[in-house]
Amino acid sequence: MKGLDLAKLQAYLDSPPLAATMFAGGRSNLTYAVTDGTNRWVLRRPPLGHVLPTAHDMAREHRVLSALSEAGFPVPKPVLLCDDTSVIGAPFYLMEHVDGTIYREAADLERIDLHALTLTLVDTLADLHSLDPLTIGLGDFGRPEGFNERQVRRWKKQLDASRSRELAGVEELHARLAVDIPAGGPGAVVHGDFRLDNVLIGPDLTVRAVLDWEMSTLGDPLSDLALMLVYAGRPLLFRDGQPVAPIDLPGHPSLDEMAARYAERSKRDVGDLHWYIGFAAFKLAVILEGVHYRYTKGQTVGPGFDTIGAMVPVLIEQGHRALEGH
C-alpha cells in the first residue's frame, strides 16, 4: 500500500497479519485504518514527498492527543509513537479507532439537524479553548506571546517553500496582514485546522472525536474561530460530485450566529474579527497551495486533489475583502 509497508509494520508490532485501508479526504498527513483481525487502530504518518519545515510533526501530534484525552476532551487515545523511519519510511503513531461519521456529502447533512450540529462544533471549539494548558501538561507546548506576529511570518515562509506558480495579490495580502497585528488575549490550546470534516460525529450528533492535530500549539484562540468561519464558506462538501459550501446548506447557522455562540460559550470578545478572517484566508490559501504543489508533483494519494489549486486565488481575494471590512 502506498505510504504504508504492512509487512514491516507487522514485524515492528510483532502482531498477527495486518490489513489496512486509507481514509479518504485527507489532504495532508496520511491516515490509515489498520487491523490485525481483532484490534483496530488508526495510523498517521507525514505526506509523501515535499514536506515543509516544522510541519507534520508526529511527536507533537501524539503529545497533544495524550494530554487532551487525559483531560477528557474528545480525541482518539494514542497507543504508540514510532520515530524510527526504517519501519514504514517515516515517523508515525497509532491511536485508537473511534466509531463515528465524518460528513463530506451535502446529502448526508441535509438529512440531519445541521443547525444543531454546527453549534455543537462551535461549543466544542470553545471548550477546547477553555482548557488550562498548564493544568493539562501543555504549558510549554507553544508561546502565546507574539503568536499572531509569528504566524504571519511562518505562513509566508511556508508559502515561499511551496510556491510553484504566480499568485496575484498574495504578496500584497501578506504585507497588509503584517500591519497592526492584534496582540491577542490569554493563550489557549489551538487546533489550527478546526472544521466540519476534521470531526467524528456520533448518531446523536455529539462530537465523538476531534481529529488532525498536526498544527496545534498554544496561541490566540480567535485564530481557530476565524478559520472555522472561513471553512464554513468554502466548498468542502460534495453534491453529485460538485463542491458545495456548508453555509449554503439548509439550516446552517450564519457566520454571525456562530461567532455569537462562541462568544457566549467562551466569554471572549469577538467584536472585531476582520484581521483574523483575513489571516485565516491567507493561511488556508497557503495550506492549499502546498497541497496543490504536491499534486503537481504526483505526490498525493487518492482522488479530489485536482480542484484544490483553484481555491487559492479565491481565498486570497477573500483575505483582502476581510481586511477592507467585509
- The tens digit of pLDDT for each residue in 244-257 reads 999 999 999 999 99
Domain containing 193 — which CATH number?
A: 3.90.1200.10
CA distance 184 to 165: 33
Which pLDDT score, from 0 to 100, does residue 26 have? Answer: 53
Which pLDDT score, from 0 to 100, does residue 161 have? Answer: 87
Tell me which H or E stretch contains 11: helix 6-13
- Enter the C-alpha cell of residue 209: 472525536
Tell me: do 133 and 177 sit in the same domain.
yes
Q: Domain range for residue 214?
A: 106-323
CA distance 98 to 168: 42
In a domain, 263, yes or no: yes
Q: Is residue 68 predicted with pLDDT exceeding 80?
A: yes
Which pLDDT score, from 0 to 100, does residue 302 have? Answer: 65
Tell me: do 125 and 61 sit in the same domain.
no
3-state helix, strand, coil in the chain (%, to 5): 40, 15, 45
Say how many C-beta atoms besides its own lie within 10 A of residue 21's C-beta: 11
Compute the mean pLDDT over every residue in the chain, rounded to the nearest whole number: 92
pLDDT cut 70: percent of the chain above it: 95
Q: Is residue 41 predicted with pLDDT exceeding 90?
A: yes
Tell me: do 82 and 126 sit in the same domain.
no
Q: 319 and 286 in contact (C-beta within 8 Å)?
A: no
CA distance 214 to 45: 10
Q: Is residue 303 predicted with pLDDT exceeding 80?
A: no
Residues in the chain: 326
In a domain, 101, yes or no: no
Tell me: do 177 and 39 sit in the same domain.
no
Tell me: do 158 and 57 sit in the same domain.
no
Which pLDDT score, from 0 to 100, does residue 52 have? Answer: 46
178-212: per-residue pLDDT in tens?
Answer: 998 998 878 999 999 999 999 999 999 999 999 99
Quick check: helix, strand or coil at residue 132? coil
**How many separate domains does the chain show?**
2
Which pLDDT score, from 0 to 100, does residue 54 have? Answer: 47
Q: Is residue 78 predicted with pLDDT exceeding 80?
A: yes
Which pLDDT score, from 0 to 100, does residue 127 have? Answer: 98
Which pLDDT score, from 0 to 100, does residue 301 have? Answer: 62
